[in-house]
Amino acid sequence: MLVFFKERLAFLSVPKTGTTAYETALAPRADMVISEPPMLKHAPVYRYNRFIRPMFLKVCDAELELMAVMREPVSWLGSWYRYRRRPFMQGKPNATFDVSFDEFVLAYMKGKKPGFADVGSQSNFMASQPNGTGITHYFKYENQDRLKSFLEDRLDVKLDLKSENVSPRMDLHLSQDVEQRLKRKFEQEFELYDSIS
């Protein structure tokens, strides 16, 4: 998570959406950088609302706008699947070496997900809270130009981004049946993604 106090902006770090590269590029410019532990680096809206927002509101009388990046849902799951196939994951319980991408997505759709498919939800991460705290600025991972332009304008910086924390490359295809089931079960994920301009 990155906080830019003067600009009243907090950049939430949705996992597997390329935010580590922005964190590296913008850390010197940010007023607050939360890069560890992962549960705070990747604090969703509800955690921001409970712990970070009150600090700025009570101490500084300031409300920050929130921004977040969302990845196309099948691509997002593919990134998790590939991420859990990194060489050092061999033999670990959350590794995906022994399952196909279809099997990974089918496991993700279960009510009680096995550890290797328990990767959360982008729409849950970004869900608005009852007090109105929610994402002000949504960006699609697939439209990096818009995201980069927004940050450069808002923060008055020129960004030089380097790829970081990249999942291993591999050609993934989800069967039509599994994709249709995923779109039915997680309709809100696809609707949220499609609503982002």
| Burial status of residue 147 (CB atoms within 10 A of its CB: 0-12, 13-18, 19 or more) | buried
Walk me through the domains of the chain, giving residue ranges and CATH numbers: 2-195 (3.40.50)
Residue of 28, 59, 71 lying closest to 158 (CA atoms): 28
| pLDDT string in tens for the chain (197-residue length) | 999 999 999 999 999 999 999 999 999 999 999 999 999 999 999 999 999 999 999 999 999 999 999 999 999 999 999 999 999 999 999 999 999 999 999 999 999 999 999 999 999 999 999 999 999 999 999 999 999 999 999 999 999 888 766 777 888 999 999 999 999 999 999 999 999 98
Residue 140's DSSP bridge partners are 70
Question: CA-CA distance, 40 to 61, in Å (whole number)?
Answer: 22
On whether the pTM is more than 0.75, the answer is yes
